[in-house]
Structure formats: structure tokens, C-alpha cells
Amino acid sequence: MTRRSRKKKTEDRTYEQRILEVYAKAPYQPFNYKQLSAKLNITEKEERARIREAVEQLLASSVLVAANRGKYKLNPIHLEADERKVIQGTISMKQTGKAYLLPENPDLEDIFIAANNTGKALNGDKVKVHLFPSRRGKRPEGRVVEVVKRGKQRYVGTIRISKNIAYFVFDDIGISFSALVPKESLCHAKDGQKVVVKLSEWPDNMRNPVVEVTRVLGFPGDNEVEMMSILLDQNFTNEFSAQVEKEAASLPVEIPEKEYQSRRDFRQTWTITIDPADAKDFDDAISYKALGDGNCQIGVHIADVSYYVRPNTAIDAEAADRATSVYLVDRTIPMLPEKLCNQVCSLRPHEDKLCFSVVFVMDAKGKILKQWLGRTVIHSDHRYNYDEVQQVIETQEGECKEQLLALDRMAKILRKARLEKGAIQFGSEEVKFVLDEQGHPIDVYIREQKDAHRLVEEFMLLANKKVAEFVGKVPQQTEAKAFVYRVHDQPLEEKIGHFNQFIGKFGYSLRMQSRKGLANSMNELFHEVEGKGEQHLIEQLALRTMQRAVYSTQNIGHYGLGFKYYTHFTSPIRRYPDLMVHRLLARYMDGKPSADKDLLEEKCRHASDMEQRATEAERNSIKYKQAEYLADKVGQVFDGLISGVSKWGIWVQLDGSKCEGMVSVKSLNDDFYYLDEENYRYIGQRHGRIYQLGRPAKVLLKDVDLARRQINFQFAEQAGATQ
């Protein structure tokens, strides 16, 4: 081989190397030689010819393969071979088409997925993503290579029918493309109607999936259609199967005599329920008995759903699948059939009921002297609502005031001790609607948590904590039995650091040296900002720094409550994990071996997922009713607070109603505004006007999109409104 030919071969290898560097940045993208030349900033004719030769060499050696229209891509075998680069998780898709993988491994950061790399994934699917080679200064990026499990079995949206084609537009704004609907799969749906569909096929050569209509809901704007759309979109249903209803109907209302004999009898102890005025299912009751010497006996009695709902029944399978009741603005979708949740299991007044109870003997300072767990029978003396109990607390007058005031006093002692030990006290507001007979909102108000709510909350927290300790708190060198915990991980250090840095601009700071110091200083912060202009801003950001509580067999404690052991035991009528806890507690009290931890963990993951879906459904129903409430108020001016900033615009939450809408960046017409992401604000470049998270704002209601539950505002000064 001559020196010249050796030099040419070396140069060819250099060109091949440079070409592969282009593909390393976009492994799944096809290029022709002209595009590769442009990527490498090569313009000379001779060099471009060398690029073409190098491409042919890579093609001949099967490193590249032909794609289409004279383009070439990397051979897939070079991409899929390294399993270490395949990450599994849930895909979260955005309105723009791009997406992020939320990895199952919590130690991994989110992975960016470009719109053309989402494959056949739909929002919420469990997928496998192949990681691209990492680039300095860039977040991890990848491509969906497999859909492991669909996030939904059915999808809700709108049918559009033209002369030659019918297609389906997803309600889920995370799915930016439509689906095709063959005419024979329309199920008599009309143009513009809301429908439910299932995925029927997604051929490799098609960009869009093909779906089949399974249910026609009706036209948008109808309250029933909209609420059912929200419910079904999160995979919940308002109906039970014939088998479940049959099993429920066969359940006895009368309590067998042997149950009275085998349980601790609390029917002669003063016992009450305290719930919202419109509640129908009462799954917790509280008993009180003065013992003398300042001591008292307080019982937390929870409906014994496990007595009626047995494993391997249709009712149990349905409850496990639903995992939770769902609370929309105008209705409750129960986890259990009505006979169970509103009749045999509901702790209705003046009826004998079977319970699982935690009973405490406490001194005047709230110290627990004794505790007992077990199955009981109770007889509730009275059904109170929160307002009735609150009135007794505030006036110190009313029927049974001695017992109610004693419970309130003890709850306040427990609460004070809990906060001193490091519980974080986040504010709590609940948006409520006044609806007319057609379900249309005629008023919106905020229900604040008062002492009556806190009374119930403290005793439920105590019961949940003590049940978790009973199973999980074992002597050293002894392995705890498998159990279902309610866990809340500590916030990421980076997030807390950013939050502390931000509040420093307002003159506040957190003590971050210890967990207790951080919790105490967080509570002090909430107290200090109360009533100030920055209150909303700081409370919102504090919430965003926190992790989400979930169910798990791995006990890592509950950070927000400051408990080392915590579970959900107190609501088995509406939460399946509580029913699981009742069964496990009974199992271990009977001396039986540990349950299958892997099976429990699988059920925990499902329950956490369904809880998130239920929260999303509730949130969407509130958003719809807020949009509906404002629909006839277009053109009016409202006072509000800036509740969020993004590159798309500025979110404003209205005072009083808490309705939230967006001011588009495009409507900021008096200046050029740039986003200061670090400080959650927009700043006008010429005039210096600032729109910052937490600041008051006066906005004009521009329009309301009921179908998308979107409210659009314009700042009053930008619109020239003077109202």
C-alpha cells in the first residue's frame, strides 16, 4: 500500500468518525449526505464527496442502514444491544408533543423525549426508553422503544366526522395527536359528541392509532356528560357489575349473636360520629368516658369492613381494582356498593355496628397510660356534623358539651405535642360550590379547617400511628412482619436549598441543620407570613418542595407528620389500603406468619396510582365547575393573586372563588417581557414592570373554554379596563 493510499484511508476513517459523532447526538434520526455535511459545517464540493464515500463505507459495513428518500440511519442492532441504557418508567406527555420519562428508580432524573421519539406511547403509559449518549450540559434524552403497559384501558374525547374520515380528539391535553375511527366503529356517535374509546390497533406504518367507540356520552356542556367524562378518563366507573351487586344484596344486615360474644362491647359507652353535613357513609366514630383522677378513656372505632368484604369475592376484587372512592364536585363514586358503604358498614346513629377499634386510657396531659386494639361492637349515640361541634367549641354550650369539650381539649394537647416534635403544619382550604337543580354552580366558597375538623383529625392520626407501631415497632434483631405503611419521603436537599434561598429575599430563613429544626422553622415561617402579601407565594412554593405521600411496604416514616411509623387504618369504606391494614392487623393478632411482601407492594403501587387518579379527577371536576361558574362573566374585572409563572404565561387565582386562569404572554402588549425563572416572575425590559408569583393582580376575564376547562385572563391595565 502506497503512502498516499494509507493517508486516504486514514482520512476516510476520520470522516466516518465525524459522521458517527453526528449520529451519536441523534441516534434515531435519518440523514442524507448533504444533511451530514451541513451538520459538520462542510461546504466544499470535494469534502462533501468524501462524506458521501464515507457514508457508503458505513453502509457497506452495516453500521448504517437505508431509511427512506436517500437517507440513512444507525443500524438498530447497535442501539438496542446495551440493556444498561434502557430505563423503565412512566411517560408524561406535554401539549407540545414532547414528553418526559419519570423513571421507576427514584434516584434517576427525568429523561427528555422529543415529540418524534415517543413511538406508540400515550400519556401515562409505562414504557421502556433507550438513552441517547450523554451530552455535556444537557439533560438525559432518549427514545421510547417499548410500551410495557397502557396507563388507561379507555380514553375519553370528542368525535369529529367529515365526509371521508372520522377521527377522535383526546380530552387528555398531554396527547397532542388524534386517533382514526373507522366508520363501522363509530357506534352511532354524532359529530361533536363526547365518547369513550378503546385502542384497537396501531400499525407500524401509521403515525396515529386506530380506536373503536365503546360508549357515547353525549354533547359537551351537559353536566352529566362532563362529570362522566372526567370520571371515565381516569379509569373509574360509576357502576358495579351484576355479580358485585348480587353479592352485596346477599350480605346480612343483622349481626349474628356469636359476633356479640366474641367482641369487646362498647354499646354502653358514649359514642358519636362527626362528619360533613352531606356525608352518607360514616366509617369512624369516637367514644369518651371519664375515669376519674383526670384520666379518661378515648376510643377510635372504625367500621369493620373486613368482616363483610372477604378475600376472593367479586366485591373484594372490585374494591381492590378501584382502590379508593372518588369525590367529584356534585357526586361521590364509592369504592363499595351502596348497601355496604351507606348501610351495613356505615356507623349510623342508634344502630349496633361492628368495628375494629383502638382504645386509649389517657391522663389530663395527653399521656397514653394504656392502649388496646381489637374487634368491637358499638352503638353511636349521635351523628354530629362539623358545624354543630364547632358551635359547641366556640360557645362552650350545647348538648353533651362536657364530652365534646373534653375531646377538643385533648385533641389540642395532642396537636401541640405533635407540632413540637416536628410535624409540619400546612394550611388547608377546600373549594366548595353551591349548585342549582341542573348542577350549575351559582356560588363558590372556601371551607376552612376549624377546631371541629382538627378534633377528628388528631384522633385519627393517633390511631393510624399506634396501629403502625403495633406491627412495625419490634425489638432489635427481630424482623418486622410485612405491612402497609403510608410513607412520605423527605424533600430533596436541592429543592429545599432553592426554597431557602428564595425566601431569603423576603428576609426569612430555614434552619436546615436537622429534620426537626427544618420542620419547626417551616411552621414558624407559615406563622410569620400569615396575612402578608407574600403568604400565597411562599405557601405554594413550600408545598412544591415536598414529595408525594404513597403506600408502601418499605417503612421510611412520614416526613410531613414527623412519625417514624404511620399507616392508613381509619377509612376502609373509602380506601382499600385501610381494608388491607385491618386484615393484616387481625392476621398478626391471631399469631399467623407474615403476609407476602411482594404481593402487598404490588397492591400498594396500584393504590397509590389510583389515589393520584382520584385526586386528578376531583381537581378536574373543580376546574370544570370553576370555568362553568365564570362562563357568563366574560368581560368582568376581578381581583386575584399571581399563582404561577411559565414560559406560556402567568397564572392568576381569583380572590374568594379560587378560580384559576392564565394570562398569555402574547397579551402582554405594553413592553417586551422576559421570564426570570429563578425568581418566578416576568420583567418588562423597558419599563421594568414586574409580574411575580404571589403578588396581587387585577384581571379581565377574556374567555372561557369549557371543553378544555380553561379560563383566559388579561391583566386589566393591559386591556385598558378601568373597572
Q: If you write DSSP's letter for every residue of 623-636 in order, what string do you get? A: HHHHHHHHGGGTT-
Q: How confident is the model at residue 81 (pLDDT cuts 50, 70, 90)?
A: very low
- One domain for residues 593 and 606: yes
Does the structure show a pLDDT above 50 at 457? yes
Q: What is the mean pLDDT of residues 20-26?
A: 73
Residue 422 host element (H or E): none
CATH number at residue 687: 2.40.50.140
Output 449 or 67, whichever has higher pLDDT: 449
State which residues form the domain around 214: 155-219
- One domain for residues 373 and 466: yes
* Alpha carbon distance 218, 216 (integer Å): 6
Alpha-helical regions (H) of 236-382: 242-249, 257-262, 305-308, 314-322, 338
Q: Considering only CA atoms, which of 106, 139, 143, 103 is closest in space to residue 121?
A: 143
* Cβ(665)–Cβ(649) below 8 Å: yes
Q: How confident is the model at residue 672 (pLDDT cuts 50, 70, 90)?
A: very high
Task: Examine the fold and report which residue of 16, 43, 78 is the final residue of a domain before the chain moves on.
Answer: 78
Place of cell 400498594: 604
* Alpha carbon distance 241, 472 (integer Å): 37
Which amino acid would we find at residue 336? L
* Alpha carbon distance 621, 231 (integer Å): 9
- One domain for residues 138 and 173: no
Q: What is the mean pLDDT of residues 312-323?
A: 97
* Cβ(407)–Cβ(414) below 8 Å: no
CATH number at residue 210: 2.40.50.690
- Whether residue 698 lies inside any domain: the answer is yes
* Cβ(312)–Cβ(599) below 8 Å: no
pLDDT given for residue 512 in this prediction = 83
Of the CA atoms within 13 Å of residue 513, those in its CB half-sphere come to: 2
Collapse the DSSP code of 409 into the 3-class scheme (helix H, G, I; strand E, B; otherwise coil) and give the result: helix
* Alpha carbon distance 446, 617 (integer Å): 19
pLDDT given for residue 596 in this prediction = 96
* Cβ(303)–Cβ(285) below 8 Å: no
Q: What is the mean pLDDT of residues 311-340?
A: 95
* Cβ(220)–Cβ(194) below 8 Å: yes
Q: Which of these ranges, 79-93, 234-248, 575-589, 645-659, has the smallest mean pLDDT?
A: 79-93
Does the structure show a pLDDT above 80 at 714? yes
* Cβ(186)–Cβ(269) below 8 Å: no
- One domain for residues 185 and 291: no
155-209 residue pLDDT tens: 999 999 988 889 999 998 889 899 999 999 999 999 999 999 999 999 887 889 9
Q: How many CB atoms lie under 10 A from the CB of residue 342?
A: 18
pLDDT given for residue 44 in this prediction = 84
CATH number at residue 54: 1.10.10.10
pLDDT given for residue 49 in this prediction = 85
| Strand extents, DSSP E, 449-561 | 485-487, 550-552
Task: Examine the fold and report which residue of 109, 131, 149 is the final residue of a domain before the chain moves on.
Answer: 149
Does the structure show a pLDDT above 50 at 6? no
Does the structure show a pLDDT above 90 at 119? no
| Strand extents, DSSP E, 202-254 | 210-218
- One domain for residues 188 and 273: no
Q: What is the mean pLDDT of residues 276-287?
A: 91
Which amino acid would we find at residue 440? H
Q: Considering only CA atoms, which of 469, 420, 435 is closest in space to residue 624?
A: 435
- One domain for residues 314 and 444: yes
In Å, how far are 254, 335, 339 from 311, measured between CA atoms? 21, 15, 18
Per the structure block, which three cell numbers stand in for 88? 423503565
Place of cell 391535553: 173
Q: How confident is the model at residue 286 (pLDDT cuts 50, 70, 90)?
A: very high
* Alpha carbon distance 467, 339 (integer Å): 28
Output 379 or 49, whichever has higher pLDDT: 379
Determine the angle formed by the axes of helices 576-589 and 314-322, rounding to 10 degrees. Answer: 120
- Whether residue 689 lies inside any domain: the answer is yes
- One domain for residues 482 and 390: yes
Per the structure block, which three cell numbers stand in for 95? 401539549
* Cβ(529)–Cβ(539) below 8 Å: yes
pLDDT given for residue 13 in this prediction = 55
Which amino acid would we find at residue 483? F
Number of domains in the chain: 5
- One domain for residues 129 and 269: no
- Whether residue 513 lies inside any domain: the answer is no
Q: How many CB atoms lie under 10 A from the CB of residue 42?
A: 18
pLDDT given for residue 135 in this prediction = 65
Task: Examine the fold and report which residue of 114, 149, 184 is the final residue of a domain before the chain moves on.
Answer: 149
* Cβ(325)–Cβ(279) below 8 Å: no
- Whether residue 653 lies inside any domain: the answer is yes
Q: How confident is the model at residue 706 (pLDDT cuts 50, 70, 90)?
A: confident
Q: What is the mean pLDDT of residues 385-411?
A: 95
* Cβ(176)–Cβ(95) below 8 Å: yes
- One domain for residues 392 and 426: yes
Output 702 or 531, whichever has higher pLDDT: 702
- Whether residue 587 lies inside any domain: the answer is yes
- One domain for residues 275 and 311: yes
**Three state DSSP letters for 495-509:** HHHHHHHHHHHHCCC
Q: How confident is the model at residue 5 (pLDDT cuts 50, 70, 90)?
A: very low
Does the structure show a pLDDT above 80 at 106? no
* Cβ(458)–Cβ(416) below 8 Å: no
Per the structure block, which three cell numbers stand in for 227? 362529570
* Residue % of the chain over a pLDDT of 70: 95
Q: If you write DSSP's letter for every residue of 89-102 in order, what string do you get? A: EEEEE-TTS-EEEE
pLDDT given for residue 7 in this prediction = 44
* Residue % of the chain over a pLDDT of 90: 58
Instruction: Give the N- to C-terminal CA distance of the chain in Å, as an integer.
Output: 88
pLDDT given for residue 717 in this prediction = 85
pLDDT given for residue 264 in this prediction = 97
Average pLDDT, the chain: 89
Place of cell 400546612: 426
Per the structure block, which three cell numbers stand in for 571? 377509612
For residue 131, what are the contacts with CB-CB under 8 A and spacing of at least 6? 85, 86, 87, 111, 140, 141, 142
Does the structure show a pLDDT above 80 at 431? yes
- One domain for residues 8 and 112: no
Contacts 24+ apart (CB under 8 A), 521-527: 522/424, 523/419, 523/424, 523/425, 526/425, 526/426, 526/427
Chain centroid to CA 49:
55
- Read off the pTM: 0.83
- One domain for residues 258 and 113: no
In Å, how far are 169, 657, 674 from 192, measured between CA atoms? 10, 31, 39
- Whether residue 540 lies inside any domain: the answer is no
Q: How many CB atoms lie under 10 A from the CB of residue 279?
A: 16
pLDDT given for residue 1 in this prediction = 43
- Whether residue 691 lies inside any domain: the answer is yes
Does the structure show a pLDDT above 50 at 620? yes
Q: What is the mean pLDDT of residues 389-415?
A: 95
Does the structure show a pLDDT above 50 at 4? no
**Three state DSSP letters for 339-354:** HHHHHHCCCCCCCEEE
- Whether residue 161 lies inside any domain: the answer is yes
